Amino acid sequence: MTTPTPHSPLAGPADYLDQRTGIGNAVKGFARKVFPDHWSFMLGEIALYSFVVLLISGFFLTMFFVPSMALVTYHGPIDSMDGQLMSEAFASTLKISFEVRGGLLMRQVHHWAALLFMASIVTHMMRVFFTGAFRKPRELNWLVGFVLMILGLLAGFTGYSLPDDVLSGNGLRITDGVVKSIPILGSYLSYFIFGGEFPGEDIIPRLFALHVMVVPALILSLIALHLLFVVLHKHTQYPGGGRTDKNVVGFPLFPVYVAKAGGFFFVVFGVLALMGGVMSINNVWSYGPYDPSPVGAGAQPDWYMLFLEGSLRLMPGQPEFVIAGFTLSLNVLIPAVVIPGLLFSALALYPFIEARVTADKAEHHVLDRPRNVPTRTGIGVAIIVAFVILAVAGSNDLVATHFAMSLNAITWALRVLFFVGPVVAFIVTKRICLALQRKDRELVLHGHETGKIVRFANGEYIEVHKPVNEEERWLRVNYAAHRPLEIEPAEDARGVRRKGYKADRRWQKLSSFFYEDRVEPVRPSELHSADEHGELESGTQQPALER
């Protein structure tokens, strides 16, 4: 799509469009825009494409779904439910599954796409976190992505409940219980959501409006903002020769990424179609319509809600207190509101905290190798471990039945693990990162082992090392090992106490936590002195020194 020649059949339409929109400027700027290439950059793409699949399959479903809790008597292909009273929402879900051609496929594709949407958002977030892609100038885009993740949870939650089956109805009932635990406002918030007492007759139409209008509109506009930021900032790139904070190295949008990314959309959609075709999900007809009395054991929410479920399951019941006649249900409030609140706040604020303790004001476009920022990597793994432990706790009954273990013992073990696991994960991860950094130093200074053993005339054996080449060395030495903050003393020259010293001191302590342990990259002078020891192939023949 460069300027069409007069002979091109596109010349006419292009000229027409440009005279009315000036689109030539945009095409000139965007058509050959450069994007770097790496598999991990496709995680965000998967999220985008599964959202498009959600819109397509979701549109199909809205053509047939009836968001109403009015009761109807079922007469349809499922004999076991003939004559049963159920909401129109549930009846229309059955109709979509059994009477609309391709309806079951679209329902299953929609559900799988929702799971993939959340999974790709979370893994994309991990990639951004561990590579430091959230650093200046991208902090705001991290926040946009964070809000998108929350909206994704909301979209999943509102959609999950729409079929009005037993499983999702109990999910709503849990929501009601959690909302009621909120001090002072709880009962009123429950009425606000359900239009009266649970379950009432309003919740399905309300969730439907949120699910098909409000939440997708917000997601769509924030995706636009997210991508606008990517264009403004230009994509980050992994470190390597010739890749700096002042350039972007990769392939042009047109034609390479039009083909690759466009093709990848079809791959994602194709995989989801296959999943919808061969893997059944949420067979609501086997659960039946919502009824407040029955509930099945082994019921699981969708994976992205498991951590909340697990958090509720792990909390012991004791901390419910009555204060001056008012009931404070900390046994619900802590696991369902406080813990997720802390986890999410930590995620949202992390870029700002790290920037503060690093005192780093520069723009960063070259990504970090996770090992080069051991504390960040450790924190990231600790958060993932906490999340996974809660998710396992959310399936503790399945763990118990599959492995024939005591449910109570599993619960107790997970209670302990929730506190111990993240700490251990942090320490181990940080140590592994530091060890990898030392290994990098070792390689740069002493080269690769070759397996070649040389025997000297005096009978001494050594192994010859092969020096790393320039590119490999650059990869291993091109990083900054940050140091803890240095702050001004508590008192100035005249002995007057400085305002803000205490706050500075706290930041300094946090900064020490981040950067006290560090491994500096090799400098050329160190390499020269190592060379002089001569353990490299090119050097004189002397044994390597143990470091």
Partner 1 sequence: MSDREVTTTSSSEDRFVDPGLPPHKSRMGDTDPRAAKRSEMQVVILFVISIVGTIGSLLAYFLVVPDGDVASVRNANLALGVTLFLSLMGIGLAAIHWAKTLMSDHEVAEERHPMASDAETRAAALGKLQDGAKDSNIARRTVLKGSVVTAVGLFPLTIAVPLIGSVGGDWDVSKFKHTLWEKGKRLTTDPAGRPVKASDVTIGSVVQIIPEASEEERSGHSWITEKAKAVVMLVRMDPADLKESEDRKGWSYNGIVAYSKICTHVGCPVALYEQQTHHVLCPCHQSTFDVSDGAKVVFGPAKRPLPQLPIAVDNEGYLVAQDDFNEPVGPSYWERLK
Number of chain positions touching partner 1 (CB under 8 A): 136
Tell whether residue 192 is a contact of partner 1 (CB under 8 A). yes
For the CB of residue 269, give the shortest distance to partner 1 in the complex, in Å.
5
Nearer to partner 1, 13 or 277 (CB): 277
For the CB of residue 401, give the shortest distance to partner 1 in the complex, in Å.
12
DSSP state of 480: -
Write the burial class of residue 238 (CB in 10 Å: 0-12 exposed, 13-18 middle, 19+ buried). Answer: middle
Nearer to partner 1, 335 or 467 (CB): 335
Q: Which window, 217-225, 377-385, 518-526, 534-542, contacts partner 1 (CB under 8 A)?
A: 518-526
For the CB of residue 504, give the shortest distance to partner 1 in the complex, in Å.
22
Tokens of 489: 């003393």
Tell whether residue 392 is a contact of partner 1 (CB under 8 A). no
For the CB of residue 453, give the shortest distance to partner 1 in the complex, in Å.
30
Helix (H), strand (E) at residue 259: helix 258-278
Tell whether residue 227 is a contact of partner 1 (CB under 8 A). no
Tell whether residue 190 is a contact of partner 1 (CB under 8 A). yes
Helix (H), strand (E) at residue 405: none
For the CB of residue 489, give the shortest distance to partner 1 in the complex, in Å.
22
**CA–CA dist 198, 172 (Å, integer):** 9
Judged by CB under 8 A, the chain residues 421 through 450 that form the site for partner 1 are 434, 441
Judged by CB under 8 A, the chain residues 46 through 105 that form the site for partner 1 are 70-71, 76-78, 85, 97-99, 101-102, 104-105
Binding characters for partner 1, 127-166, by CB under 8 A (x = yes): ----------x-----------------------------
**CA–CA dist 83, 86 (Å, integer):** 9
Cα–Cα distance list, 100 to 97, 329, 370, 392 (Å)? 6, 46, 49, 37
**CA–CA dist 264, 252 (Å, integer):** 16
Tell whether residue 466 is a contact of partner 1 (CB under 8 A). no
Q: Which window, 6-14, 339-347, 407-415, 535-543, contacts partner 1 (CB under 8 A)?
A: 407-415
Furthest CA-CA distance within the chain:
98
Q: Give residue for tokens 């723009």.
A: 363
**List 15, 471, 488, 532, residue binding partner 1 (CB under 8 A):** 471
Nearer to partner 1, 443 or 464 (CB): 443
Q: Give residue for tokens 């107790």.
A: 412
For the CB of residue 274, give the shortest distance to partner 1 in the complex, in Å.
4
Q: Are 253 and 30 in contact (CB under 8 A)?
A: yes
For the CB of residue 37, give the shortest distance to partner 1 in the complex, in Å.
8
Judged by CB under 8 A, the chain residues 484 through 513 that form the site for partner 1 are none
Sign of CA dihedral 411, 415, 416, 417: positive
Nearer to partner 1, 126 or 328 (CB): 328
**List 40, 68, 123, 478, residue binding partner 1 (CB under 8 A):** 478
Q: Are 88 and 68 in contact (CB under 8 A)?
A: yes
Helix (H), strand (E) at residue 307: helix 306-314
Helices (H), 66-138: 88-98, 103-130
Tell whether residue 178 is a contact of partner 1 (CB under 8 A). yes
For the CB of residue 16, give the shortest distance to partner 1 in the complex, in Å.
28
Tokens of 505: 């001191």
Nearer to partner 1, 66 or 149 (CB): 66
Binding characters for partner 1, 258-277, by CB under 8 A (x = yes): -xx-xxxxxxxxxx-xx-xx
Q: Give residue for tokens 């509101």.
A: 337
What 3-state class would DSSP assign to 453? Answer: strand
For the CB of residue 197, give the shortest distance to partner 1 in the complex, in Å.
5
For the CB of residue 91, give the shortest distance to partner 1 in the complex, in Å.
14
Nearer to partner 1, 82 or 460 (CB): 82
**CA–CA dist 239, 247 (Å, integer):** 12
For the CB of residue 9, give the shortest distance to partner 1 in the complex, in Å.
22
Judged by CB under 8 A, the chain residues 278 through 337 that form the site for partner 1 are 278, 280, 285, 290-299, 309, 312-320, 322, 325-329, 331-332, 335-336
For the CB of residue 410, give the shortest distance to partner 1 in the complex, in Å.
10
Nearer to partner 1, 180 or 466 (CB): 180
Tokens of 355: 């920037």
**CA–CA dist 6, 10 (Å, integer):** 9
Binding characters for partner 1, 242-261, by CB under 8 A (x = yes): xxxxxxxxxxx--xx--xx-
**List 407, 424, 490, 503, residue binding partner 1 (CB under 8 A):** 407
- Peptide linkage before 319 cis (omega within 30 of 0): no
DSSP state of 298: T
- To the nearest 10°, the Cα dihedral for 80, 83, 86, 91? 70
**CA–CA dist 509, 278 (Å, integer):** 55
Cα–Cα distance list, 317 to 312, 313, 334 (Å)? 10, 10, 11
Tell whether residue 170 is a contact of partner 1 (CB under 8 A). yes
Q: Are 204 and 172 in contact (CB under 8 A)?
A: no
Judged by CB under 8 A, the chain residues 193 through 212 that form the site for partner 1 are 195-202
Q: Are 320 and 330 in contact (CB under 8 A)?
A: yes
Binding characters for partner 1, 108-127, by CB under 8 A (x = yes): xx------------------
